[in-house]
Structure formats: structure tokens, C-alpha cells
Amino acid sequence: MKLIVIGGVAAGMSAASKLKRMDKDAEIAVYERGSFLSYGACGLPYFVSGENDDYTKMIARTKEQFESMGMDIFLRHEVVKVVPEKKQVMVRDLETKRVFLDHYDKLMIATGTSPIVPPFSGGNLKNIKVLKTLEDGIVLKEAADGEGVQNVVIVGGGYIGIEAAEAMGHLGKNVRVIELSDRILRTFDKDITDLAESELIRQGVYLNLNEKVLGFIGSETVEKVQTDKGIYPADLVLLSLGVKPATGFLEGSGILLSANGAVLIDREMRTNIPDVYAAGDCAVVYNKVMEENAYIPLGTNANKCGRIAGANIAGSHTKYVGTLGSAAIKVFDFELARTGMSEEDAVRLRQDYTTVFVKSADHPAYYPDQTPIWIKLICDKRTRRILGAQAAGNKGVVLRIDIFAVAIHAKMSADELGMTDLCYAPPFAGVWDAVHIASNAVK
Amino acid sequence: MKLIVIGGVAAGMSAASKLKRMDKDAEIAVYERGSFLSYGACGLPYFVSGENDDYTKMIARTKEQFESMGMDIFLRHEVVKVVPEKKQVMVRDLETKRVFLDHYDKLMIATGTSPIVPPFSGGNLKNIKVLKTLEDGIVLKEAADGEGVQNVVIVGGGYIGIEAAEAMGHLGKNVRVIELSDRILRTFDKDITDLAESELIRQGVYLNLNEKVLGFIGSETVEKVQTDKGIYPADLVLLSLGVKPATGFLEGSGILLSANGAVLIDREMRTNIPDVYAAGDCAVVYNKVMEENAYIPLGTNANKCGRIAGANIAGSHTKYVGTLGSAAIKVFDFELARTGMSEEDAVRLRQDYTTVFVKSADHPAYYPDQTPIWIKLICDKRTRRILGAQAAGNKGVVLRIDIFAVAIHAKMSADELGMTDLCYAPPFAGVWDAVHIASNAVK
């Protein structure tokens, strides 16, 4: 049995590793477009900021390590076509430009995403970057460390844009974030993003909301950013306008894609074509609380779904329990985290919901360094089941959202979580934890 | 309707407050033996250490605040007898020594505990203290701050003893903990207490295990502690040998007690006598994972059960979902937390169980200050349901045990928690969190 894996970062290498653990005789070939395998891309902002000065720390396993597990690894090799009726893939060696065919018994598609880069005027000036791959990170860090680079403009206020803003702030740059919509980090509701925006501004970041970038001005290197409202100096621009599934090469293959180009899969990671699996950011993912497929490109889903794909390729029939869209981000001195439905989701899904937004604290006032925690909950109005939770604060926020994630996963009501026995000791939590206080505030 | 509350700290004032919120016309009289109401006794070690220099911060609400809610509050008043057939209590005013009767329609028993103090030889020497009430805390702090107090011996290595050891260490004392059994903090299994003991020793605390205190030596003030193994200098001794329910005054009342003297109650906080309720450290509590009553004197249970008692006194029929024995303690630079069954519990309950003990980390190596986390899980061997979890580490431990607490509460299997969507961002967690790694390690 030969498995071909297209894309060797999160889902792809999770699948390959799981298959090898379950069937050490399986033949595995991995084609990866980039120069690195199996890295934690979410660590890139902290490499750019210099908080981590060694990019190899982001690499979970190297080519050599995977090879010693018995896999054939091909870096800088791009799969340009899949032909399911012949069980073939067409591969281009990006170094030699040679194109060749390879045959699979099972195929795993794990190509992730490509950054969305609209055709801006002046878009080909130097020092206009993206941050997606490890290579991007190395290039961006070099650019940021370049002489005279002081004004950094970040276009797009999503996770990557805001993490990059912090990284650039950490490097002492003048940082401006330009965002088309009326707020940043749109997977959070406004109650929470208001807090994040205040923190960014408090840290000296210029925040331009409701503003559309029209193009870039400069002779060779970018010098200015032009928007529909003004012109801003820029020695370096990061485009972080979101990502799209890297599935263009599947055109004509017969493998079904969603409207945005994500591979359609079931909860066993099977596409519509026999023996073809997909997972990770190039594919949809089952959302447990929404009870429908969604497009949520996060490393958490990619790793879990990749592992399940590997097990199922080995002959298992494991279904993914489903994502909750749990996500966290550090915004300077603030933690933000979310899980389940946002209020925007609840409106879109015509949920009969109720919300609370409660300020409490990480621990009692009788232990030093008490800090506030804001929690927003979205609950079903009739059953009082918790559907979503979001929080912000200086510390102890992310793991509390994990507490809600388990409660949402287990379909608990606010009332039940409000009486669940959580730990209490003054350095860590109150006798009624912030989680209890928010849960018990649901009307 | 008149409610008499005996004991005005956690469960008692929770019940009184809840009743007032539900029925503002209810007449409430509170008899409290001490001088303070409604305080967070778990904050006492941090007052003794000086980390909190204001004991009023531990007081959630004062006498005056409760009075303004319409309650009659009697401090330094001890109930010495309950006569259910007449619905009377006999009260002694500890200041005037006057004894009088009062009549109730409903009675709430919330007298908490008394410290266990065996009759040691030399036990009445000066500077031999206990730490139970806020008054005890003030007295202990004064003693610790006394001139020439350098050698502090703590008898008993439970929660209070170990927190006091840290407090005394914080004050720069020479600290010795003498514990009769072979390890400290016995609600944890040995895998975890070994780590805590190493941390204590690393911090310079002398730890004498398997050692029995025989008595104290001194002329007026304590000077030495004598054990079955040696004699140690002591300018101050803290006796922290555990607590017993403060229910002696119920003898002959007909109210049923457990073997250790805790008031027997059902999940609605009702005793065997109509209109008599009890909750908190003076009573048993329903343990959800053990599916039986247990004696677990913790502020978490007291506050929740007190609130439920108040609601039920007001006419509701709310059952407590049950405790998990969740508890946390800071041991210098270490966090320890536990929830559900320990391995010792599993053995006692003849559970067919399996365990794992896994070392992972709070976040990935590609973000600074990664620290280790050790997690032990106890799972049902057949269903793989998680029954208990314990952990230790420098940070992010307690809230992770809360994640397990919700999973145990919701009867989740290790496999399901191992695939539940928790948050990932490099400053906070790995893409597979320590919680996942431990869950997925269960054989």
C-alpha cells in the first residue's frame, strides 16, 4: 500500500506519522512545495519579534527524522495535478523544473492555504511581504531588521496581522494596522474586540478601521501606503488579508470543493473520490456546535484531522468529534480566546439565543496582582445550553476558555457549569471562579 | 418565616444571602461564634506571609452590609444546643456569658470545623498556634513577626501546613514540616507529592516524614519540639493536623451525624429532621464521581451547597450536582491541583482502573519560558472514562485541572477529551495541549 501525501506541514505529516505507527510497512511519499516540513507556523510572529531566535525550534521533525521513520520526503516539489481515475499525481520539482508522475493507492491532500493578495497598484515594490510559511517568516524578519525600517504598515487585522503588529511593536517599530471592516479579529464579537483595540492603542499601535488600502507608492522599495482616507509612510508592509485553500491544482480532478475552494470531506476525512482523503486548512471541517461543516483554518483542526485521516487510511473508521473553532491570541499584555458560536454566528444560524458579558477577576483581591477578566457567553435561550464563549484579560483567560470548550463539547447548560466543582486557591481562582460567575449570570 | 443560621462564614452566609435574594421578607438571624463574617479563610496564609497586608480584603461582606440587607447578625454568639421538637436553639453570648433561647421556622447549620489538637505534653506553652479562623490568622502573624522568632515548626503536612510553610519561608524563617505519614498532601498520589516535596526541599524547607511529634519543651514559650526521632529548635509551632466537624453541640438533638461527626444531609442539604438544613465543612457532601457522600471540607463545596440550601429554604428543590474534590495549592514556585478520584480512592472503591503519568509542557519550545507540566490520570479500564486527574508544574496547572474537572463531570472518556478542540497559540499551549497529550496517553 502506497500513500502519497501532498503537503508536509500539519495535517499531512500527522496523517503520515499516524499511518506509520499503525502500519510500519506502508509506503509513504510526501511532496512538499516548501523547504521545511512539520513546523508550527503559529510560532512565526515570535520568531519575527526575536522572542524566539532559533527558527529550528518551530520544526517538530526534520526531513531526516521522517526519512528514518521510512518515509520518502520530497521538498520543493509541487503536485500540479491529481488524476484519480489513474490514481496518479503529476509532480513538478521546483529546483530542476522536471515534471513526473507518481502512483498512489491512497492519497492525502494537505496543501493548506495561500495568502490572499489582491492586485494592488505598486504591489510589486520591495518590502511588501506576507507571513504564511517558515520561509516567509525568515524573509519578513530579515526585512524588519533592515536598516532604516521604522514605519511598518500591516494590512488586515486578523490573527496574523495582530500578532505581527505585536511582533513589530516588540521590535520598536512604528506600527499601523489598516483594516477594512469596523473592527479587528472578527471571529470575536465587538465586546471583546473593543478591549483588544484599546490594548493595541494603549501600546502605541495606530489603528485605522473602516479604511481601504488602494495601493503602494515608492520608487524601488515601498515608501507609502495609499488608502481611501489618507497616505501613510511605510518602510515595510505586511499583507495579512486572510487565506484561501491552496486547491487550484485540483481543478478538473473531480474532487468536490466548497464555494471558497476547500476540499469537501466527511467526518472520516474522505473526499467524494474513493481512496482520496483531505484534512487541514485546505479542507472543510465538521463544527460540533453548529452541526455543520465550516471553513476554520487552524492548526488545531489540522493536526487532529490529519491524525484521524492517517488512522482511517490505515483501515480504521474514526470520525472527528468536531471542532469548536477554539482559538487564542496574545495581544501585547492581553489574552483573548474564543470557542463555539460567536453572537454573529448565532444570528446567522437564527439561533434563539441569550448572551451575558461579565467582568470578574482571575483571583481574589486578597492575593497580589489581581487582574480583570471579561467573559461573554452565548447560550440557547430555551435549553440554556452554552453555545459559545469569548474572553479577554491579562492572564488566565485562554485556559478558562478551554474549560468552556469542554462544557460546550459536552453540551452542558450554563446552570450546570455554574455549579461544577472547579479548583479554588487564592493565587489561582476565587471560590466562585470567573467561569462560574459568568455561567451563573446567564438570564 | 424565620431562618436561624448557625455559623456565618461560607455556607451560612451563602444560604442567608440566597434566601434574602429570593424572599426579601424572610426574617434571618445569624449566630457566629467568631468576630468576623463571610471571609475567605483560604486567604489566611497570604496574610500571614505579608503578601496581603490588609485582612479586611478577605472579608466579602461585613456585619453592617448584611444588616443593611435586613439580617440580624450576632457575632461572638455560640449556639450550644438545638431542640428540634420545640424549633429552638440555645445561644450563649460569649461576651456577656448570657444564655438565651431563640425560635426558628427553618434552621441552617453551618458551623464548619474545629482544628484537631491532640493533648501534647507542653501543648499549653506560648507560641503554639493553629490557623483556622481570621482571628487565628491575626494571632499567628503577630507571633511570626515577634522578636527572635526564627525557627518555625509546622506539625502536619496537609493544605494548611504546606501553605503555612510557604508563608513562613516567605518571611525568611527556618521552616520544618513534621508529618506522621510517608508523604505530604495526601489527597494527591505519590507521583505528584514527590514533586511537591522536592520543591519544598529546594526552597530550603526541612521535611521530616514518618515522624511523630511527642510534645513540646520550653519554660514559658515553646523552645523545642520532641518527636520519636529527635528534638528540634522551635520559636513558633503551627499545629495543622486536620479538622473535625464542629458539631459537638448537636449531641442529643436527634440530628444524624456520620462516623466522623459530619451532619448527614441529602443533595438538597436537608438533614433527617424537617426544616433543619446543613452545608459546608460541618456536613457531608455528595461526590459526583464516587456517587456517594464524602467528607471534603473545602470552601468551594461550602459556598455552592450554602447557596443551594438558601434556595431550598426559600422553597426551591435544587439538588447539588456534586463535588469532585477539586482542589489546588501553591507550593512556592509550583502549582498543584487535583480533581475526581485519586489512585488511592480508586483502590479503596475497588475500581477497575488504569493510570498514566505524563510529563509535557505548558506551551511550545518556540515561545520563551516553557515550563514542564506533569499530569496523572485515573481512568476506568473498560469505558476509559476519566475518573481523576492530578497535576503539578510551574504554571498553567490549576486551570488545566479545571478542564479535566468539567470532563469528569460530563463523564467524558480520555479518547474524547484527547480530541476536544482546545485553544492553541504559542504563548499559552501547544497544538496538542498537555491535556490532550495526557488523555491520548491512556492505554
pLDDT tens by residue, chain B, 443 residues: 999 999 999 999 999 999 999 999 999 999 999 999 999 999 999 999 999 999 999 999 999 999 999 999 999 999 999 999 999 999 999 999 999 999 999 999 999 999 999 999 999 999 999 999 999 999 999 999 999 999 999 999 999 999 999 999 999 999 999 999 999 999 999 999 999 999 999 999 999 999 999 999 999 999 999 999 999 999 999 999 999 999 999 999 999 999 999 999 999 999 999 999 999 999 999 999 999 999 999 999 999 999 999 999 999 999 999 999 999 999 999 999 999 999 999 999 999 999 999 999 999 999 999 999 999 999 999 999 999 999 999 999 999 999 999 999 999 999 999 999 999 999 999 999 999 999 999 99
Q: Are A256 and A266 in contact (CB under 8 A)?
A: no
| Interface membership of A437 toward B (CB under 8 Å) | no
pLDDT of residue A139: 97
Instruction: Give the Cα separation of A238 and A156 in Å (integer).
Output: 9
Pair A354, A397 in one domain: yes
Q: How many domains does chain B have?
A: 3
Q: How far is residue B160's CA from residue B113's CA, in Å, rounded to a whole number?
A: 14
Q: Do B405 and A422 lie within an 8 Å CB cutoff?
A: yes
Q: Residues 6 or more apart from B121 whose CB is under 8 A from it? A: B214, B215, B216
Q: Where are the beta strands (DSSP E) in B266-409?
A: 276-278, 285-287, 292-294, 327-331, 334-340, 353-361, 372-380, 386-393
Closest Cβ–Cβ partner in A335, A406, A420 for B428: A335
Q: Do residues B124 and B231 both lie within one domain? A: yes
Residues of B with active-site annotation: 42
CA distances from B79 to B5, B31, B102 (A): 10, 7, 10
Q: Domain containing A291: what range? A: 2-34+76-114+244-313
Asked if B193 and B290 sit in the same domain, the reply is no
Q: Are strands A128-129 and A236-239 parallel, antiparallel or unpaired?
A: parallel
Chain B residues within 8 A of A403 when measuring between CB atoms: 399, 402-403, 406
pLDDT tens digits for range A229-260: 999 999 999 999 999 999 999 999 999 999 99
d(CA A217, CA A154): 15
Contact yes or no for B42 and A304 at CB 8 A: no
Exposure string for B31-42, b = 16+ CB within 10 A, e = fewer: bbbbebbbbbbb
B415: CATH: 3.30.390.30
Q: Is residue B338 part of a domain?
A: yes
Instruction: Please state the φ and ψ torsions of residue B106, each to the nearest 5 degrees.
Output: -130, 145
DSSP-derived 3-state class of residue A80: strand
B300 touching A (Cβ < 8 Å): yes
Burial (Cβ within 10 Å: 0-12, 13-18, ≥19) of residue B317: exposed
Q: How far is A237 from chain B (nearest CA, A)?
A: 24
Q: Are residues A225 and A254 in the same domain?
A: no
- Looking at B241, B272, B294, the residue that finishes a domain is B241
Q: Tell whether B166 lies on the interface with A, counting CB pairs under 8 A.
A: no
What is the distance between the alpha carbons of residues A43 and A63, in angstroms, rounded to a whole number?
A: 19
Confidence (pLDDT) at B44: 96
| pLDDT at residue number A269 | 98
**Residues B224 and B126 both lie in one domain:** yes
Q: Is residue A175 part of a domain?
A: yes
Q: Residue A421 and residue B324: Cβ atoms within 8 Å?
A: yes
| Cβ pair B423:A367 closer than 8 A | no
Considering the domain architecture, whether residues A385 and A308 belong to the same structural domain is answered as: no
Residue B358: partners with Cβ closer than 8 Å, 6 or more residues away = B374, B375, B376, B377, B434, B437, B438, B441
DSSP symbol at A420: S
In the numeric block, which cell numbers belong to residue A163?
A: 500578532
Is the Cβ–Cβ distance between B206 and B176 less than 8 Å?
A: yes
Q: Residue B289 has what pLDDT?
A: 97
Verify that B237 and B147 share a domain, yes or no: yes
From chain B, pick out residues whose CB is under 8 angstroms from the CB of A399. 396, 399-400, 402-403, 423, 428-429
| pLDDT score for A237 | 98
> Does B229 fall in a domain?
yes
HSE toward the beta carbon, residue B363, CA cutoff 13 A:
21
**Phi/psi of residue A168, each to 5°?**
-70, -40
Q: Kindly report the backbone phi and psi dihedral angles of residue B376, in degrees, each rounded to the nearest multiple of 5, phi listed first.
A: -115, 135
Q: Which of B332, B335, B337, B338 is nearest to B394 (CA)?
A: B335
B288–A42 C-beta distance less than 8 A: no
Which residues of chain A are within 8 Å of residue B300 when distances are taken between CB atoms?
421-424, 431
Total Cβ atoms within 10 A of residue B104: 23
Q: Which of B241, B268, B284 is the last residue of a domain?
A: B241
Touching check for A347 and chain B: CB below 8 Å? no
pLDDT of residue A36: 94
- Residues B176, B235, single domain; the answer is yes
Residues B129 and B157 in one domain: yes
The verdict on residue A40 lying in a domain is no
Residues of chain A with pLDDT under 50: none
- B61 at interface of A, judged by CB pairs closer than 8 A: no
pLDDT digits (tens, 9 = 90+) for B98-154: 999 999 999 999 999 999 999 999 999 999 999 999 999 999 999 999 999 999 999
Q: Which residues in chain A (315-344) have CB-CB distances under 8 A to chain B?
A: 320-330, 335, 337, 339
| One domain, residues B86 and B127 | no
A259 Cβ under 8 Å from any chain B Cβ: no
Whether residue B375 lies inside any domain: the answer is yes
The beta-carbon neighbor of A423 closest among B58, B401, B428 is: B401
Interchain CB contact of A40 with B (< 8 Å):
yes
What is the per-residue pLDDT for A70? 96
Q: Are residues B62 and B110 in the same domain?
A: yes
Tell me which residue has cell 470575536: A188
Mutate which: B303, B421, B422, B432, vs A, most A CBs within 10 A: B421
Note if A379 is an active site residue. Answer: no
Buried b / exposed e across A285-295, counting CB within 10 Å, b at 16+? bbbbbbeebbb
The answer to whether A400 contacts chain B (CB < 8 Å) is yes
Q: Examine residue B433 and state whether it is found in any structural domain, yes or no.
A: yes
Q: Please check whether residues A301 and A207 belong to one and the same domain.
A: no
Determine, for residues A327 and B368 on separate chains, whether the beta-carbon distance falls below 8 Å: no
Task: List, as ranges, residues 81-110 from A with C-beta within 8 Å of B.
Answer: none
Please check whether residue B413 touches A, CB under 8 A. Answer: no
| CATH number of A124's domain | 3.50.50.60
Task: Give φ, ψ of A386 to 5 degrees.
Answer: -75, 130
Give the end of a domain, one of B206, B226, B241: B241
Cβ contact (<8 Å) for B326 and A422?
A: yes
Give the three cell numbers for residue A170.
516588540
Sheet strands side by side (includes A353-361): A327-331, A334-340, A386-393, A372-380, A353-361
Q: Quick check: is A23 in a domain? A: yes
> Would an 8 Å CB–CB cutoff place A145 in contact with chain B?
no
Is residue B326 assigned to a domain? no
Task: Check residue A213 and give left, alpha or beta (phi > 0: left; psi -120 to 50: alpha).
Answer: beta
Mutation target to probe the A interface, by most A beta carbons within 10 A, among B399, B417, B439 is B399
